[in-house]
Structure 1
C-alpha cells in the first residue's frame, strides 16, 4: 500500500476529511497564514498587551498551546475537516507549521525599521512557506509533474523573496540564496517531519549560516 504521507504525487483530496471541501479548507487555512507576519510585526505588541505579554512571549505561548492540543489530539486520534487520515497517528501539518513559524519569528533577526520592516527575514521565510507550498502541492496533485512543480515553485519563491527585498528591506543576496531553500523544503518525502516545517526551517538555517556575511 502506498504511504499517503510520502507519495509525491498522491491526490490528497481522497484522503482529506471532508473530501474536496476539506482539501480546499486546508489550502485556504494554509494561505491565510500569510497574514501572520503582518499581525506580528505590525500589531504584535498591541495584541500581546491584551494578555500582559510581550510579543515574543505571546508567540511562544500560542505555539505551546497548539502543541499541547496536538498531543491531546494524537492521544484521542481525532482528525478534523481538512486534515488527512494519516494525521490521526502522526503530528499534523498544522502543528509542524505552527512550531516552524514560531521558530522563524523568534530566531530570525528583526530589521531596524519598525512595522513590516522588522520582518526583513521573518516575513519572506513565512510567506514562502504559506504561498509556495500550496502552489507546488496542487501542481503535483493535478499534473503529476515534479519538474513543473519545482520550476513554478522557484518562480513563486523568488517573487516572494525578491519582493520582500523591495517591500521590507530583505538583503538581496539573502533573497537570491535562500529562495531555493524554500522550494527544497517541500521536496523531502518523509513521515518524520512535515514540509510545512522544512519549508521554514531550511531557509531559516540557511539564514543563520549566512548572517555573518551580510
Structure 2
C-alpha cells in the first residue's frame, strides 16, 4: 500500500462543500493569531488557571488529542472536515500537535511567529493555487515568496536571523509537498522546519 495519497479537489471532499471548505480555510488563516495569544496573554491565562505556561500548552494539546480520539471512536466528521477524516487523525489535530511542539520547544517570537504564520498563510495559498490548476513550479515559487516575506517580517519585528529566513522559507514550502496517507501537512509544515530550527539554534543563539 502506498504511503502517498492522490491529489483531490478539497471542495469535493469537504463536509459542507464550498461552505465547509471556506470554513476550513478560515480556521487555517485564524491560526496566525495563536502566537499573539501565546506571547501577549499566555502567562496571565496560565497564572489564572494555576499552571505554568508550558503546562497550559501541553494541556491544551492533550485535550485536543483526547477529543480527537473520541471523534475517531465515533467515526464522526464535523462541518468543514474532509470526508476521509472520519477514519484518520484530522488536520486540525495534527495542527494542534505541531503548534504545541513549536510553543514547547522554541517559545521565542523569532521562531514561533514565522513557523506558525508560514503554516497559517502558506498552506492555504498552496491549496488554492493547486485548486486553480496552477503549475507546480508556480505554486512553489509563489508560496516560497510568501513564506520568505513572513520570515523577513519576523526578522524586522522579532530579530529572526536573516540567514535563517532564506533557509527556512523553501524548507517550509517543501515540507507541505508530501501527500502522506496518515500524517497531514499541518504537521509536516511545522515539525520538519521546527527540527531544522532546533539544529540551527546553536549557531543562531536566539534563545541563548
Q: TM-score range by the shorter chain?
A: over 0.9
Q: CA deviation at 1:195?
A: 0.3
Q: CA deviation at 1:109?
A: 4.9
Q: CA deviation at 1:96?
A: 0.2
Give 3-state SS (helix, strand or coil) of 2:79's partner: coil
Aligned to 1:49: 47
| Structure 1 residues not aligned, in runs of 5+ | 111-118
Q: Does 1:13 align with 2:11?
A: yes
2:176 maps to which of 161, 186, 204: 186
Structure 2 CA distance for aligned equivalents of residues 6 and 155 of structure 1: 26
Aligned to 1:142: 132
Aligned to 2:101: 103
Structure 2 CA distance for aligned equivalents of residues 26 and 89 of structure 1: 18
Q: Does 1:171 align with 2:161?
A: yes
Q: How do 1:1-214 residues align onto structure 2 when only pairs under 5 Å count?
A: 6-8=5-7, 10-110=8-108, 119-214=109-204
User: Residue 83 and residue 151 in structure 1: after superposition, are their counterparts in 2 closer, same or farther (change >3 A)?
Assistant: same
Scaled by the length of structure 2, the TM-score of the pair is 0.93
| Structure 2 residues not aligned, in runs of 5+ | none
Scaled by the length of structure 1, the TM-score of the pair is 0.91
Q: CA deviation at 1:49?
A: 2.0
Structure 1 CA distance for aligned equivalents of residues 138 and 83 of structure 2: 27
Please list the CA deviations of residues 21-56 of structure 1 after superposition, one character each: whole Å capped at 9, or x if unmatched: 000000000000100000001111112222112221
Structure 1 CA distance for aligned equivalents of residues 112 and 14 of structure 2: 30
Give 3-state SS (helix, strand or coil) of 1:83's partner: coil
- The number of residues matched between the two structures is 202
Q: CA deviation at 1:144?
A: 4.3
The Cα RMSD (Å) is: 1.4
